[in-house]
Structure 1
Amino acid sequence: MKVLVLGAGVVGVTSAWYLARAGHQVTVLERQDAAGLETSFANGGQISVSHAEPWANPHAPLRALAWMRREDAPLLFRLRRDAALLEWSLRFLRECTARRTQANIRDIVTLALYSRRQLQALRAETALDYDHLERGILHIYTDHRDFRLACEAAAVMRSFGCERRTVSIDECLAIEPALAAARQRLVGGDYTRDDESGDAHRFTQQLATRCAAQGVVFRYGARIEQLLADAGRVAGVRVAGEVLQADAYVAALGSYTPLLLRPLGLRLPVYPAKGYSATVALAADSVAPSVSLTDDGHKIVFSRLGQRLRIAGTAEFNGYNTELNGVRCAALMRRAGELFPDLRPAGEVEFWCGLRPATPSNVPLIGRSPIANLYLNTGHGTLGWTMACGSGAALADIVSGRKPEPAFRFL
């Protein structure tokens, strides 16, 4: 079939790759000048099956309320007149039960494990070079209550196949010696040996090049104006006055997917969660981690990308605002300094923010929409990089009329 993929972030490009490998004729539309320039540009860099506990869990509502007045809060809901945020928030609260949390963890782990295997197979086939490391991910805790709750969540993840192992303070330091200066802060951790890290932007751009070599057409600078519908099907995509047509359409526009589809009568439970990152070029004498870390209490991750350190995290619900907030940027560096006091930047720190497409459950929307020839691949939240290859492979199966491999709640 002729397939139009809307969006060239990591999810759109992986979708294009697997669709092309399935024998389809693929064109990708992207408003930016190249692939991976928005949410995929400077994310946390983790392939983190171990990060499967959703934001919506039994402990989340009280924490969100406590953080409401903190400008540097890990999870910040800004009070605003926004019907979409109100609707999303009510759905979020419904997902905070223990039963729903466990079901969502199951889905996230299932898809993430499948996706990690797909990424490994793709890397073996293509020899992509994106500063990837296979040293696992270490979650660290500096609060006893957070550590206790994490041990409970890790046990649930292990039951679904994610080997997230609880470790002592000494084991944390053996896994990542750069934490030595923060020893007195630590109360414990957990470690997932099979998780990975790498530069999502480099991966996306290199895979886009491989896609083009396989015959995928990329139309950059193509700002989508409208989806045209007729008789319950998408009839075309209007771009700069031109109507492009295909047999099937894949919406992979991240946080902007709901805006495009709303005129067609589709109300997707996807809302932008603004995340921040700092990229630090490391001086030769820096004491910096080489194992990817997750500081769960502060919702911050640390990933080594060659001679750079990516510090990323937090979530701010503030509509489609993409302005950098100096307080939240400073919070990233302050926490980095607390854990790694001998971190020495070689030059100016590069700050960035991007809009992560979050569903209330953190479970992405993948599969056929109510419109017959329109497919969705969106709503991955903080795990777009983690789930990208699995989502793309599964979507290609669905478009091709095959049953996807993972036991996931596809649309």
Structure 2
Amino acid sequence: MGRVAVIGAGVIGVSSAYLLARAGHDVTLIDAAGEPGTGASAGNAAQLSWAYGDAMASPALLKHLPAIAMGRDPAIRIHWQLDRDFLRWGLKFIANTPFRRWWNNTQDILRLAEQSRYELAILLKETDVEFDYRVAGKLHLYADRQSFAAAHSSVVRKNALGFEQRLLTRMEAENIEPALAAYQGEIAGAVYTPDDALGDAAEFCRQLTAWMIGRGQVSTFFGRRVSSFVQTGGVLTGLRFEDRDELHVDAAVVAAGPQIRSLVSDLPEARDIRSVRGYSLTIPRSGLAPSVSLTDVKRKLAFAAIGDRFRVAGLADIERPGAGFDVGRFDTLKLAASAVLPDLFDRSDELTRWSGERPMTPTSKPMIAASRRIKGLYINAGHGMLGWTLALGSARRVVDLLR
């Protein structure tokens, strides 16, 4: 066992640190922020989508791509860039839209999600961390008969893989979630996944980090940014920082989310990771809020009741890394959420806004691999919108790589 640095303290990095420490490694958790869970983990959709790991590059999205390219879909926006990496990423994305590639990618993601669910069950038994976790179930709401009919084949395939999903009428969906009686959006049918769960990803990061520190399992460097890697003969020996002395290590796992691209000179693999910016709005939870997690397929909105809060997350802006958020997109998200749940989002005076970059590969599968350039350096990044769902499964695979 050796000295391992984990760069990045979001759900991917904290999960990696936890399983690496449990495997006997001497772990140092590093993040440029002052505390864990401040990036994409801070305001994500909160849904643990064990049965919904569908790759973004799909036949359905390919058909819709011309409308997206012309700015006709408010939920997805592409900022076109005269950038070689952007163009290469886009071409690889399109190459993964045929059915066979989409389904192969989706199956790989689902297997990783199942591994995450297994690891989470162990974590919940072994630790006392609290992060508003519960098995809430999830309803995917389809606005028209055509899209609902198309969902049937997906349900059949996932049932064959062992996932429990059921096709429901609107009335059956309302019996499961009575709050849907007030839902203003069209519902031609729904897909119900009873075993899907949710939890506060940021609180998970904070609580699990504190739990590990309290037991002497990890040391931490917060407020420290890694600038480059120290190597001898192509073998990693340490990390360089912008504002402190080098840290000597035997291995390092880069789980730095979108910041991984700042290390692209040492990690050329990171060129296959692009930022997809998302947005969320969180309000106090009232008695009118649905308890079951919801996904509005047409509007691409995800709703979740997290403890005493209720959150809507959505939008996918493929943009230049580090471009920052567009304040007008919060209005777009609120308008869409208010159109279907006006009693919640129009009447709440307390509103917490969040936007963050979610690093994604063209296949939607995370990059979990050893560096091709530096021995002892590993990548665990590119999870896109599924970082919370895939975190612990990805961490397990990193542990296996380091054996």
- Match of 1:188? 189
What is the Cα deviation at residue 154 of structure 1? 2.5
Which residue matches 1:253?
256
Summarize the alignment of residues 132-151 of structure 1 with structure 2, pairs less than 5 Å apart. 132-151=133-152
Q: Secondary structure at the match of 1:347?
A: coil
Q: TM-score, normalised by structure 2?
A: 0.94
CA–CA distance in structure 1, aligned partners of residues 200 and 323 of structure 2? 21
Please state how far the C-alpha of 1:395 moved relative to its aligned partner.
1.4
Helix, strand or coil at the partner of 1:60? helix
Distance 1:227 1:236 in 2: 6
Is 1:319 the counterpart of 2:320? The answer is yes
Tell whether 2:123 aligns with 1:127. no
Read off the aligned partner of 1:196 and give its amino acid letter: A
Q: Assess if the C-alpha contact under 8 Å between 2:237 and 2:251 holds in 1.
A: no
Name the CA distance, whole Å, in 1 between partners of 2:155 and 2:77: 25
Give the letter for the 2:352 counterpart: E
Higher alpha-carbon deviation: 371-380 or 225-234? 225-234
Alignment-derived partner of residue 13 in structure 1: 14
2: distance between equivalents of 1:183 and 1:252? 40
Alignment of 1:8-407 (within 5 A): 8-70=9-71, 73-182=74-183, 185-215=186-216, 216-239=218-241, 240-282=243-285, 284=286, 286-321=287-322, 323-343=324-344, 345-370=347-372, 371-399=374-402, 401=403
Query: Mean Cα displacement is larger for which, 370-379 or 159-168?
Result: 159-168
Q: TM-score if structure 1 supplies the norm length?
A: 0.92
Any gaps of 5 or more consecutive residues in structure 2?
Answer: none
Looking at structure 2, the residues matched to 267 and 291 of structure 1 have their Cα atoms a distance apart, in angstroms, of 36
Show CA shifts across 1:116-154 (max 9, x none): 121122112213211122121111111222222222222
- Gapped regions of structure 1 (runs ≥ 5): 402-411
Q: Is the 8 A contact 2:85 2:271 kept in 1?
A: no
**Per-residue deviation, 1:166:** 1.6
Contact 1:274 1:322 in 2 (8 A): no
Mapped to 1, the partners of 2:316 and 2:271 lie a distance apart of 20
SS in 2 for 1:132: coil
CA distance in 2, matches of 1:364, 1:268: 13
- Aligned 8 A contact 2:7 2:255 in 1: yes
Question: What is the deviation of 1:14?
Answer: 0.6
Per-residue CA distance 1:159-210 (angstroms, 9 max, x = gap)? 3232222211111111211111237711011011111011100111101111
Number of aligned residue pairs:
398
Distance 1:113 1:124 in 2: 17
For the 8 Å contact 1:72–1:327, the answer to whether it is kept is no
Q: SS of 1:262's equivalent?
A: coil
* Structure 2 Cα separation of the partners of residues 398 and 184 of structure 1: 46
Larger deviation, residues 380-389 vs 151-160: 151-160
- Give distance in 1, aligned partners of 2:267 and 2:360: 21
RMSD over aligned CA atoms reads 1.8
1:409 is matched with none
Aligned in 2, Cα 1:133/1:266: closer, same or farther, shift over 3 Å? closer
- Deviations 1:189-245 (CA, angstroms, capped at 9, x unpaired): 101111101110011110111121232001001111112333222232111252112
Secondary structure of 2:126's counterpart equals: helix
CA pair 331-197 structure 1, distance change in 2 beyond 3 A: same
| Counterpart-to-counterpart distance in 1, 2:272 and 2:239 | 23
1-structure distance, mates of 2:264, 2:231: 11
Shift of 1:341: 2.6
Shift of 1:72: 6.0
Letter in 2 for 1:143: D
* Cα distance in 1 for residues equivalent to 2:315 and 2:268: 32
SS of 2:132's equivalent in the other structure is coil
Deviations 1:38-87 (A, max 9, x none): 11111000000232111101121231220234376222111222222111
Partner letter of residue 352 of structure 1? W
The alpha carbon displacement at 1:156 in A equals 2.4
Name the CA distance, whole Å, in 1 between partners of 2:147 and 2:15. Answer: 35
Task: Provide the rounded CA distance (Å) in 1 between the counterparts of 2:190 and 2:51.
Answer: 12
